[in-house]
Chains A and B, each alone.
Chain A
């Protein structure tokens, strides 16, 4: 190993790490606000990349039909719970309509836009929008009624949601993988390194998203509301912050981040319906490094995971995943020795 190889590996590790960082941030975000360990985070990655791939072929992606089905389920759940509280059919229908309107509009736009073969960027935006719409619906259907359950119950629900989403992915996208065209077909040589346009976009997007998230949590009222929920749910509710809408917002953001990650890795690898799981798990390892609570920590953890992975596959490619996931043991040991308190309640 010389400096050239080391620098190429480092670049590769950082590029992958940037994507893991996004997923790690999403995992931390969802956990702090809702106490859900969101295992299906990776599924949004695969959904994002594959939705774009299907749009590229000029067909209507199956995610649209899934979105409609989920919207109908979520809307009826909303209507029923509203009816139970108020016994008012108008209010019940109104709340159902609110849930339905966005997914239905989005589906109509997609059905219209799919055969028109718009430029790649427009299709990318559309894919991100479709996948983002899944976020609140997943929360409404799977988690909202269990809001006060223990993290363990929520984790079990997450595993179920993960299996359901992977299975539906297989149903809608098929077993074979897709590779998307690059957004920027460019190659810059920097000494021994050659940086692809895709890597640059990955870095730029990750950085921009992290800054945006920071601004959102520091400056925007909604962001502060999310933070308040994360610190103390009951307190936040007493202050008039709905924990339902906080949860839905957190999930929407997680879905958006997942979809963006999918769009970012789509051109550099073949994405399968089940590819997201491993990528999401690496984001989860990054989040664990940060104790599921700190955003900068998750980012550092993700870059670390990326670099370990790159060097691990150079030295012992057969044991790459083993190396990455075994890392979680010493980290957990170190954290529990350092912290000493229970992470059960946040």
Chain B
């Protein structure tokens, strides 16, 4: 399966390659199969809607499947830099894979636009930029909302993987500043058949609110498990759960849940003053037209933002060098770091030399599940 997808992608890529060397080549590695395929597939959908030209130059896009496997991600990234001589690497959408790919980006001096909030030690992320909001930004939004609601104690139920771990760190730090305490921390895996044991411990601690850290349709089961044990307090979900799959799978039980998300999830409800509203609406309408109404989601939004960012950075880089050269790649990195505030569908980015996260602290939007739909708080 994986291999077949790769073969097809390679065949398609080799058809277009060779002739037009001056084109801008973008190598994209996404989890199209495996546990994170729910994140990679919407991105691939949006990539199919990308413009043909960026900054007046034709773009050549190569999409490979990394199967949510860091080894494959690194293999894809190596192929991109050695064989395809790409100007930009995009991906992955799975955190462990994105982290592994960052090494190749650093070594080959190629810009990586990761579609996942990868945590890297200082210096390691010199060539890696994140498209999604950092967990710190999102945790900040949740903590502010909790403060307004008078929440003092929180129970944490999250994935056992890097996503859960990073959220735990971000939330603990953000909560401490506002005097919000984690009273119970439990873990689970997406494929688990029940969270009864974890729910027992969490409800016994009886916190004011529960924070569930999970993604997509996997986010409903843990919440239902906690409710089943008689918990009546508030629920918070993270931005990976901000898809319509949460109310679809959770039904009535997830009504009233607060979900933190980027602005793309319910752009029509954003105030007109929000700078991202126009782009987010554009994304929602185009994605909806192509793949069905209301099918827009976080990760499609990240894929939408990639050309938006490049549209601004590429002309700056083109002034210094030609695509396909190391000079161009270095110029592109400089452009991304110096181009200043850039409005994207997911918020306002401001990458600098020292900060490759970029989003301002007020980017996170809290939405509430009302009648199976998201309503901005």
Residues on A facing B (Cβ under 8 Å): 5, 8-9, 12, 15-16, 19, 163-164, 166-168, 170, 174-179, 265, 268-270, 272, 274-275, 277-279, 310-314, 317-318, 320-321
State the CA gap A321–B204 with chains docked (Å).
23
A16 partner, pick from B2, B194, B245, B250, beta carbons under 8 A: B194
A9 partner, pick from B33, B197, B221, B250, beta carbons under 8 A: B197
State the CA gap A279–B201 with chains docked (Å).
24
Q: Can you name 8 extra interface pairs (CB under 8 A) apart from A5-B200, A270-B220?
A: A9-B197, A9-B200, A167-B2, A170-B37, A277-B191, A279-B191, A313-B197, A320-B189
* A249 CB, min distance to chain B CBs, angstroms: 29
Are B190 and A179 in contact, CB atoms less than 8 angstroms apart? no
Q: Which chain B residues in 18-52 approach chain A with CB under 8 Å?
A: 33-35, 37-38, 41
Are B198 and A314 in contact, CB atoms less than 8 angstroms apart? yes
Given known A12-B197, A179-B249, A270-B217, contact A318–B187 (CB-CB < 8 A): yes
Are A8 and B191 in contact, CB atoms less than 8 angstroms apart? no
Are A317 and B186 in contact, CB atoms less than 8 angstroms apart? yes
A310 partner, pick from B2, B33, B197, B245, beta carbons under 8 A: B197
Q: Could you name 8 residue pairs across A and B whose Cβ atoms are closer than 8 Å?
A: A174-B41, A175-B38, A177-B218, A269-B221, A270-B221, A279-B193, A310-B196, A313-B192
State the CA gap A279–B194 with chains docked (Å).
11
Are B38 and A179 in contact, CB atoms less than 8 angstroms apart? no
A179 partner, pick from B192, B216, B220, beta carbons under 8 A: B220
* A49 CB, min distance to chain B CBs, angstroms: 11
State the CA gap A163–B220 with chains docked (Å).
27
Interface SS of chain A: helix
B218 CB contacts on chain A under 8 angstroms: 177, 270, 272
A265 CB contacts on chain B under 8 angstroms: 193
State the CA gap A265–B2 with chains docked (Å).
28
State the CA gap A175–B194 with chains docked (Å).
20
Interface string of B285-322 (1 = CB under 8 A from A): 00000000000000000000000000000000000000
State the CA gap A210–B54 with chains docked (Å).
64
Residue of B nearest to A20 (CB): B193
Q: Is B1 an interface residue (CB 8 A)?
A: yes
A167 CB contacts on chain B under 8 angstroms: 1-2, 33
* A3 CB, min distance to chain B CBs, angstroms: 13
* A26 CB, min distance to chain B CBs, angstroms: 17
Are B200 and A177 in contact, CB atoms less than 8 angstroms apart? no
State the CA gap A175–B245 with chains docked (Å).
11
A8 partner, pick from B1, B188, B200, B216, beta carbons under 8 A: B200
Q: Is B61 an interface residue (CB 8 A)?
A: no
**For this complex, into which size category does the number of interface residues on chain B fall?**
20 to 34
B34 CB contacts on chain A under 8 angstroms: 274
* A169 CB, min distance to chain B CBs, angstroms: 10
Given known A178-B217, A313-B197, A314-B200, contact A272–B191 (CB-CB < 8 A): yes
Q: Is B195 an interface residue (CB 8 A)?
A: yes
Q: Is B160 an interface residue (CB 8 A)?
A: yes
Interface string of B76-109 (1 = CB under 8 A from A): 0000000000000000000000000000000000
B196 partner, pick from A9, A178, A272, A321, beta carbons under 8 A: A9
State the CA gap A310–B217 with chains docked (Å).
23
Are A314 and B193 in contact, CB atoms less than 8 angstroms apart? no
Are A16 and B220 in contact, CB atoms less than 8 angstroms apart? no
Are A274 and B194 in contact, CB atoms less than 8 angstroms apart? no
A170 partner, pick from B33, B160, B220, beta carbons under 8 A: B33
State the CA gap A168–B2 with chains docked (Å).
11
Are A12 and B196 in contact, CB atoms less than 8 angstroms apart? yes
A177 partner, pick from B187, B196, B217, beta carbons under 8 A: B217
Are A313 and B221 in contact, CB atoms less than 8 angstroms apart? no
* B199 CB, min distance to chain A CBs, angstroms: 10
B201 CB contacts on chain A under 8 angstroms: 314
Rank and list the top 3 A-B pairs by shortest CB-CB distance, nearest first.
A167-B1, A314-B197, A175-B38
State the CA gap A272–B249 with chains docked (Å).
12
Are A177 and B216 in contact, CB atoms less than 8 angstroms apart? yes
State the CA gap A79–B189 with chains docked (Å).
46
Given known A9-B197, A314-B201, contact A278–B191 (CB-CB < 8 A): yes
State the CA gap A279–B38 with chains docked (Å).
20
B1 partner, pick from A164, A269, A320, beta carbons under 8 A: A164
Q: Which chain B residues in 170-222 approach chain A with CB under 8 Å?
A: 186-198, 200-201, 204, 216-218, 220-221
Interface string of B229-273 (1 = CB under 8 A from A): 000000000000000010001100000000000000000000000
Are B188 and A176 in contact, CB atoms less than 8 angstroms apart? no
B193 partner, pick from A268, A311, A312, beta carbons under 8 A: A268
Are B245 and A176 in contact, CB atoms less than 8 angstroms apart? yes
State the CA gap A19–B193 with chains docked (Å).
10
Residue of B nearest to A322 (CB): B160
B249 CB contacts on chain A under 8 angstroms: 177-179, 270
State the CA gap A18–B190 with chains docked (Å).
20
Given known A176-B216, A179-B221, contact A272–B197 (CB-CB < 8 A): no
Residue of A nearest to B33 (CB): A170
Residue of A nearest to B216 (CB): A176
Q: Which chain B residues in 144-190 approach chain A with CB under 8 Å?
A: 160, 186-190
State the CA gap A12–B198 with chains docked (Å).
11
A175 partner, pick from B37, B186, B196, beta carbons under 8 A: B37
B160 CB contacts on chain A under 8 angstroms: 317-318
Are A175 and B1 in contact, CB atoms less than 8 angstroms apart? no
Residue of B nearest to A316 (CB): B187
B220 CB contacts on chain A under 8 angstroms: 179, 270
Are A163 and B1 in contact, CB atoms less than 8 angstroms apart? yes
Residue of B nearest to A5 (CB): B200
B38 partner, pick from A12, A176, A318, beta carbons under 8 A: A176
* A78 CB, min distance to chain B CBs, angstroms: 26
